[in-house]
A and B are shown apart, each in its own frame.
Chain A
């Protein structure tokens, strides 16, 4: 099978869906053909779709978020590219609100808000307290949104196409450290349903739950642990809303041990939620307390050694796994 970069998987998903459905349009900062967004469509596509369907903007996050919700309620299917994930913050009210409209209307006349809010995590760079933030738990917290964090090019394309066809607001978060990773992606059309976790690595001693770039860090940690005779299973939920808790439960039932790795702030985070759901069902199967690896509730520093102290690392994942084994 051919291999493509993850950013190409995004471009393919966007352009294929735009070709398939004329209600789909792309908007955001620097999404034009000479733009700097990793998700910008290639030149020919801009020419193919024209300026009504590729709406490049300046810095207008509230307009992007609410404007697209308005267009969606009025029958279009917008894809918004916020570029960096922390650019969702200026539009926080609007993104949260997108999840409220349908229920707030009581679902009257089966109204739908088919909008995709795309962005990329910028962590492990020099973004510091601002651009290095990973507002994942924040979007999972509010009702009415779906939340997708793909890891591989294959998943990115299949999940993004599903997101664009979904009739609800979907927050789709990729990762800057994954844009230039390669992977097999078939030429033929395929979709990946939401709410289906995938087992990234099979193992028998400890379960790790991780998404996006945290999967790659966890895979590296698992390699090291393997040398030491510790067998790690890695579950990638791929979507947080809906969450495939069953695949996680099946794995934890087998291993009896769980580590959740998450690059958002650890407090009130993904690890807390997943640990809670697991203990609720499997308290008796757990052989050790659940461990969390996450960002330690500190504004993220720029200096590499300080950043390593705050953010998840391979070493911290290894230590957390071992802690479940003592």
Chain B
């Protein structure tokens, strides 16, 4: 099987706190996954579980503490970031943070064009910018001479997608690209990903909290919890018949756009984020309704249950089968 991107045993630790009360957090703990060409792969899960950290390392913005990343058959080498990340473009979570408020938005486009030598004349550059903007429902005219403050959050997000498309990337890393836009625009953005996949063979690492759009557009999905991938498989497997208790909680918490199916009962949030990170055994043990003694002491095995990867003691029997 051809793989566009492979992440192997990736680990990232951060140190928090002052000199006296130092805690080490393993933000990403030994995770592995791959993305095929022309595939939309979702990375979902808890806020603060390490999704952005993973994306930043793939993008070369941050160093891994351990593990490797293989992209286009090449292993990452510390001093050769440029060719390594070639063909990868990113879209980030906060469109307000992507652009400097004192710079005209179009300058970002011209900068990318210059950096990648994508056009010979200003005319050609504008034509390219306009073509990419049209893919997201805007035009060059809409943006010429304007500053970020003149756009809404949703508009800025579409603008950053258009900018990412300038270099015709093979892989787009989209970190919560739809969280700031309306439902209809969400649909147009994920439909755009679909189109890029089906017509241009582009792959997308789609990091999101919107599991309904993930179900709609993705091929496979990984569910992360506190630095671990706890479940991974096709969206059908993972979202329609979730196996891991955390995935089940996640699935049950999705607010349905249906007034007859409002949330029932109350849920318990984690005591503290860092405590769960530091927990021995399964990190979900503190909140899991099905917790067993072994969960509190031993790291759960990674097993295959009905085709999906699951990391949970409940499925220990599958380990040998």
Q: Do A and B come from one complex?
A: no
| Chain B residues within CB distance 8 Å of chain A | none
